[in-house]
Amino acid sequence: MEKSKIWKDKSVVGVELLSAQYTKFEFAKHWHDELAIGVIEDGAEGILYGGQKLIVPKHHIVAINPAEVHTGFPGVPSGWRYRMFYFDLAFLQQVFDKMSVHLEPVVNRTIIDDKRLFLGLLQLHQAMEQTSFTLTKESLLLITLEQVFTQYGEVNNPERTTFIDTHNVFRARDYLFDNWQENISLDELEGLTNSTRFQLIKSFNSTFGLTPHQFLLQIKIQKAKSLLAKGMTCVDTALFCGFYDQSHFNRNFKRAYGVSPSNYKC
């Protein structure tokens, strides 16, 4: 089976995404102006890169630096299924400017065996394909990119991470409680706390054990559960709680409680 889809998420400028499954297809020699990072969901991908023939197996990460010539082909007879990110270099520089370390937009490993990072990249890619809250996509993107580049990037002149004060963390929390029906963005929380989004995410997680997007989603799901228990329909509950559509609501409710909203009984 050969199938592929490429798209951009309108809420995140500077990232192109590919989801594909190839059995016999082979890429000719080419390069990307962007940094390409992908996750192999099934099978294995073969690549010619840096004068070497490499095999990237299932549940591993592949990273191709900008302007590096490479190919892609089936690494096993069944081919491979994967998801790719193509990060624009100007976009990455904007991200780095807000991080606590100075980074270069290159990755020092072609094949990465890191289960936590694999799952983070997979979750991010799925969030940018499905209906997801802006705060979810922005937070996952920043958390994952920081992990990629601080662990596998070229770090220069590292600086100590500065956490914001507790008062501002609680101010962000209260804002989420007061505006829980809205599609809140990191820009809003940055302006509210007068901090960088990296400082905010780390400080919030350190204080409450959840990132801001996880906290907001938990509020929405708890409110939804209460409304369903009072007899509100699934459709009306999803709309009232600010979910994009029924599938978005169903997916997140089941992740939290193990059953779909329609099967929930108070």
pLDDT of residue 25: 95
Condensed to tens digits (0 to 9), the pLDDT of residues 250-261 reads 998 988 888 889
**3-state secondary structure at position 62:** strand
Query: Which pTM value belongs to this model?
Result: 0.81
Q: What own/partner pairs with CB < 8 Å and gap ≥ 24 does 94-100 have?
A: 94/14, 95/142, 95/145, 96/149, 98/196, 98/197, 98/198, 99/146, 99/149, 99/198, 100/158, 100/159, 100/160, 100/161, 100/162, 100/198, 100/199
CA of 64: how far to CAs of 19, 182, 191, 251, 259, in Å? 16, 38, 35, 32, 40
Domain 215-263, CATH among 1.10.10.60, 3.40.190.10, 3.30.1330.40, 3.30.70.141: 1.10.10.60
Condensed to tens digits (0 to 9), the pLDDT of residues 108-164 reads 999 999 999 999 999 999 999 988 898 999 999 999 998 999 899 875 544 545 566
Q: Output the six-digit token pair for 188.
A: 């809003």
For the domain spanning 3-156, the CATH number is 2.60.120.810
**Alpha-helix runs per DSSP H in the chain:** 89-97, 115-127, 134-152, 166-178, 186-193, 197-208, 212-229, 234-240, 246-257
| CA pair distance 120, 138, nearest whole angstrom | 13
Question: pLDDT 10s per residue in the chain (266 long)?
Answer: 789 999 998 888 899 999 999 999 999 999 999 999 999 999 999 999 988 999 999 999 999 999 999 999 999 999 999 999 999 999 998 888 876 667 788 999 999 999 999 999 999 999 999 888 989 999 999 999 989 998 998 755 445 455 667 888 999 999 999 999 998 999 899 899 888 888 889 889 888 888 999 999 999 999 999 999 889 999 999 999 999 888 999 998 988 888 889 888 54
Q: 61, 39 in Cβ contact below 8 A?
A: yes
